[in-house]
Structure 1
Amino acid sequence: MASSTREALVDTAAALLDEGGVESVTLREVGRRTGVSHNAPYKHFASKEVLLAAVATRELERQAALLAAAAERSRSPRALLRAAMHVYIAWARDHPARFKLVFGRWSVGSAELGVAADTAHGLLTGIVAAAQEAGALPGGDPVRLASLMRALVHGAADLASAGHLASDGKGHASPEQLVDDLIGYLDAAARAMRADPPAMEDGASG
C-alpha cells in the first residue's frame, strides 16, 4: 500500500509539473490531488525537492527503457543512434517541463536519481561508442561526442518549442531533421577520415 501511495504521489506531481511547471508542485497540492491527507506526502518525501527528484528518477528510468527497446528494434548502430536521438526529442517535445527538470540544477542529493542518470547516460554513451566502432561516427571520446549529440537535441527542442524551428518555417528543419543532418555529417566525416587519414604531426612518433 505504501508503495502504491508513493507511486500515486509521483504520478500527481508529474501531472502538476506538466500543467504549470515546478512552481505548481507543492506537497499539499499533490496530497489533495491524490486524495490523501495533507500530511501523507511527508511520510514519503521530506520536501518538495525530494519529490521532484523522484519524478526525475522515474523519467530517466522510462527513457532508459525506451533506449533499450530501440536497441532491440534497430538494424544497425547508426539506425540505433538515430532512434535514440529521436527518443530524446520526443521526450523534450511531449514533456518539456519534465525534460527541463531532469537536466536542471539540483539542490538535493538523491542516490536513486544518481543511479538513474548514470544508467541513462551510460546507455547513450554505449550507443555512440557502438556507432563509432561501426564506422558511422568519427573516433574519439564517446562521452564528449554523446554530449555534442545531446546538446543539439536540447537546443533544437528549445528553439522548436519557442516557434523558432520548424520544417516548414523558421530554420527550415525540425529537431528530428537537424539530428539526422548531424548524424549524416558525422558519418561522412568518419568515412572521409578512413579514406584519407590525417598525417602524423612532426615529432608525434617520438
Structure 2
Amino acid sequence: MPPPTRKLLITAATDLLDAGGRESVTLREVGRRAGVSHNAPYKHFANKEALLAGVAAEELTKLSESLAALREGSRPEGEVLRAALGEYISWALAYPARYRLVFGVWSAPFEDLAVAAGSSYRTLMAIVEAAQRAEQLPPGDTQRMTALLQALIHGAIDLTMIGHLAIGGKGNADADGLVDDLLHHLRVSAAAVPAV
C-alpha cells in the first residue's frame, strides 16, 4: 500500500529542505517530487509555512521517539541522559536545515507542530527528571534544568555550525565535549548536595 499523500508531500518537502534550505521548498515542486498534481499540496496544507510546520512536526516526533527509545533499556539514568543529549546534537548537525526549521520563528501557531513540540519537550524533561532522581543532576526545578541543558546544546550546535567551535580550533571543544563538561560539573554539584 503506498504512503498517504500527506506523508509523500512531507517527505518531498524534507528532501528539498535538506538540499537547499527553506527557500527551496515550494508547493509546486513538492507536488511534482511527490508525484501528485500541482494542486494536491493545497488540499493538505494551506500554504508553504503550514507544509513546513508539518515537516517540523514530523522531525520533532521522530526525535521524541528516538529519545523515548533510549529509556527502554536497562542502562543507568546518567547514560540515558548523555545518550539523549548526544542524539539531539547528532540530529542537528546531520540535518542543519531541519534543525533551523524546527527551532526557527513561526508566524502563526500550528496545532500539529505544537503537539509534537510538547511531546518532544516532555520526553526530554522526563529523562532529565529521572537523572535528577538518580542523583546524576542536582535536585530542583526540572524545567529549569532542562532549559539549561537545551541552552548549552543549542549554543554549542549553533557555534559548531558557524565554525566558532572545534576541537583544536575555536573553543578547543566540540558540542559533545561541552555536554560532557557540563554533565561532569552537574554530577559534582549533585554529589555535593547533602542528603536529606
Task: Answer whether TM exceeds 0.5 for this pair.
Answer: yes
Alignment RMSD:
1.7
1:143 aligned partner: 143
CA separation of 1:35 and 1:22: change in aligned 2, threshold 3 A? same
Per the normalisation by structure 1, the TM-score is 0.90
Question: 1:106 and 1:169 mapped to 2: Cα distance?
Answer: 34
Point out the more displaced range, 107-116 or 15-24.
107-116
1:161 paired with 2:161, answer yes
Which amino acid is the alignment partner of residue 185 of structure 1? Answer: H
Structure 1's consecutive aligned runs of 4 or more residues displaced over 3 angstroms after TM superposition are none
User: Counterpart of 1:18 in structure 2: which amino acid?
Assistant: D
Counterpart CA distance in 1 for 2:19 and 2:155 is 22
Query: Does the Cα contact within 8 Å between 1:74 and 1:80 map onto a contact in 2?
Result: no
After superposition, what is the alpha-carbon deviation per residue over 1:145-164, rounded to whole angstroms, capped at 9, x for unaligned?
A: 10110111111111111222
**2:130 — aligned with what?**
130
Do the aligned residues in 2 keep the contact of 1:136 with 1:187 (CA within 8 Å)?
Answer: yes
| Alignment-derived partner of residue 179 in structure 1 | 179
Tell me what 1:202 maps to: none
- Unaligned residue ranges in structure 1 (runs of 5+): 198-206
Q: Give unmatched runs, 5+ long, in structure 2.
A: none
Q: TM-score, normalised by structure 2?
A: 0.94
Confirm whether residue 42 of structure 1 aligns to residue 53 of structure 2: no
Matched pairs, number: 196
Give 1:18 deviation, angstroms.
1.0
Q: Give identity over the alignment, percent.
A: 54
Partner of 2:14: 14
Alpha-carbon separation, structure 1, partners of 2:74 and 2:38: 47
1-10 vs 122-131, greater mean Cα deviation? 1-10
Hey, what does 1:33 align to over in structure 2? Answer: 33
1:9-66 deviation per Cα after TM superposition (whole angstroms, max 9, x unaligned): 1001011111111111110111122222211111111111110111011101100111
- Quick one: which amino acid aligns to residue 185 of structure 2? Y
**Distance in 1 of aligned mates of 2:108 and 2:3:** 22
* Cα shift readout 1:93-113 (whole Å, capped 9, x = no counterpart): 011111111111212322221
Does structure 2 conserve the Cα–Cα contact (< 8 Å) formed by 1:45 and 1:51?
yes
Q: Quote the Cα distance in structure 2 between the aligned partners of 1:167 and 1:194.
A: 36
> Computing the radius of gyration over CA atoms, which structure comes out larger, 1 or 2?
1
3-state SS of paired residue (1:171) = coil
Rounded to whole Å, the distance in 1 between the matches of 2:113 and 2:4 is 19
